[in-house]
Amino acid sequence: MPKLRCCFERNILKQTQIGFLQLACRLQPEDRPILENLKLSSHKEVIHHLRDGEVVLYKRPTSRVWQVRYKLRDHKWHCASTRQRQLEWAKRVAGELYDKARFREEEGLPQKSVRFGTLANECIRVLKVEIERGIRPNTNMDYIRAMNNYLIPFFGKLMLTNITAQKVAEYESWRNQKMGKVPISSTLANHSSAFNRIIDLAIEQGAISDKVIIPKLSRKGKKGSPRPAFTQDELKQLLEYMPKWCLLAERKNHAEMRELLRDYVELLLTTGMRSGRESMNMLWKHIEWYTDGKTDVRYLRIWVSGKTGGRWLIAKHRAASALERLAIRQGVGANLNEAIAAKSDAYVFSMSTGQRPISMHTSFELLLKDSGMRVDAITGKNRSLYSLRHCYATMSLMDGQMDMHTLAKQMGTSVGMLEQHYSKMTATMAAERLA
């Protein structure tokens, strides 16, 4: 029994010692009198204050080496091991560690080195959260692919501070070799933006200072080939073909799906909204009438949220026909006015049963195949739903009724992006004034 009691008392004492040291580490220098008032005199010798209390040297009961913690201008305590058993040597090392930390702080260098791959994986986690919330899903997925396929395989094991201009040049050469070609400008811009997201996260988390200059990836490359589109005559032909195409469906549900696609195509052509999440997530309560106070003209105004966040857009007048057909089929209202007034939470693009199609791409491909319009004769490429958005931008600029700034706001993109793809049209648009 005496032996058991002795062991128990030693364990209690050991736990007390550990608790005392943990408390000591948390206390600020100005709180030193608290330590001196404690009766655990046997432990006063394991704590030493250096540099006017800015540096604290201490030894854990379970360790033979001295530890050090110091406070920097961020008002946080930073801990490290001196790896020294002798007090005098430990004091010298503690002073050196503190001086180096102050130097790194003055130069804007991180106190701890972080690998690029660690931050890249954390950035991917953040991007996935944004995708789940509906924030720029397509763009963020492109960033994730660029990180997983190119950035992490090359830079992953490097410390951030070791990414030099030479390393960036080596990366670009390696990437081109892996791709088997020189990427076009849009691909380079995507990789550069993905790289910048990682660096921005590093600065945000304090892994690197904003004073440290990290070389940027090049955005200059070959311009992409023209995008497949429709001419005005082809669009007219397509719009005239769709009602007939709906009647050719062999099943009732197939016919309704074709009718839904017809309305979807017309809405994309009259609004310039993006296919996919931006348009498919639109609710009836997101549509309203807007009357211009100056002209007393009434417009359809639609709220959409997608790649670049939320925005109001103005639909062309002929969009009302497609919306009214949708409202009647879904039973939201006897006409468009009733459907808008109801402020329903129902999705605009859904079947009469309430079922929503996962995507419109397959049905649109079938429409193009059946109408003989699958391939763009100018580019030789297959058309897609994006071709409708491209047509909206082209025709809006061609008719001279909308400037690039207004069009960028309407479509939820930047003026720079429009200029990149449609700059060749400027001379054509101004032909009447130039001739």
Tokens (6 digits) for 305: 């949220």
The number of domains in the chain is: 3
Considering the domain architecture, whether residues 44 and 192 belong to the same structural domain is answered as: no
Q: How far apart are CA 229 and CA 4, in angstroms?
A: 88
Residues ≥6 apart with Cβ < 8 Å to 388: 230, 265, 268, 269, 275
Considering the domain architecture, whether residues 66 and 123 belong to the same structural domain is answered as: no
Considering the domain architecture, whether residues 85 and 200 belong to the same structural domain is answered as: no
Considering the domain architecture, whether residues 134 and 96 belong to the same structural domain is answered as: no
Considering the domain architecture, whether residues 429 and 294 belong to the same structural domain is answered as: yes
Residue 234 identity: E
Helix 185-204 / helix 116-132 crossing angle, nearest 10 deg: 100
221, part of any domain: no
- The residue among 79, 106, 133 that closes a domain is 106
pLDDT for the residue numbered 1 = 46
332, part of any domain: yes
In Å, how far are 76, 273, 368, 371, 392 from 232, measured between CA atoms? 65, 19, 16, 16, 11
Considering the domain architecture, whether residues 312 and 405 belong to the same structural domain is answered as: yes
- The residue among 40, 71, 106 that closes a domain is 106
Tokens (6 digits) for 414: 């930047």
Considering the domain architecture, whether residues 153 and 32 belong to the same structural domain is answered as: no
217, part of any domain: no
pLDDT per residue, tens digit, the chain (435 aa), is 444 444 444 554 455 555 545 555 555 555 555 444 444 434 444 888 888 778 888 888 888 888 888 877 666 777 778 888 888 888 888 888 778 777 766 665 555 667 899 999 999 999 998 888 878 777 889 999 999 999 999 999 998 878 888 999 999 999 999 988 888 888 898 999 999 999 888 888 777 766 667 888 988 766 656 778 898 899 999 999 999 999 999 999 999 999 999 999 999 999 999 998 899 999 999 999 999 888 889 999 999 987 777 899 999 999 999 999 999 999 999 999 999 999 999 999 999 888 998 889 999 999 999 999 999 888 888 999 999 999 999 888 887 778 888 888 899 888 877 776 776 655 544 444 434
Considering the domain architecture, whether residues 80 and 53 belong to the same structural domain is answered as: yes
pLDDT for the residue numbered 269 = 95
Q: Chain centroid to CA 313: how far? A: 23
162, part of any domain: yes
The b-or-e profile of 85-100 (16+ CB within 10 A means b, else e) is eeeeebbebbbebbee
Considering the domain architecture, whether residues 146 and 193 belong to the same structural domain is answered as: yes
The alpha-carbon radius of gyration of the chain (Å, integer) is 33
DSSP states along 82-139: ---SSHHHHHHHHHHHHHHHHHHHHTT--SS--BHHHHHHHHHHHHHHHHHTTSSHHH
Domain that holds residue 184: 116-204
166, part of any domain: yes
- The residue among 106, 125, 140 that closes a domain is 106
Considering the domain architecture, whether residues 158 and 79 belong to the same structural domain is answered as: no
Backbone dihedral angles phi then psi of residue 288, each to the nearest 5 degrees = -150, 160
pLDDT for the residue numbered 59 = 86
pTM of the model: 0.55
**Residue from 352, 348, 363 nearest 258 by CA:** 363
CB-count burial class (<10 Å; 0-12, 13-18, 19+) for 116? buried
211, part of any domain: no
Considering the domain architecture, whether residues 98 and 200 belong to the same structural domain is answered as: no
Count of helix runs (H) and strand runs (E) in the chain: 19, 7
Considering the domain architecture, whether residues 200 and 259 belong to the same structural domain is answered as: no
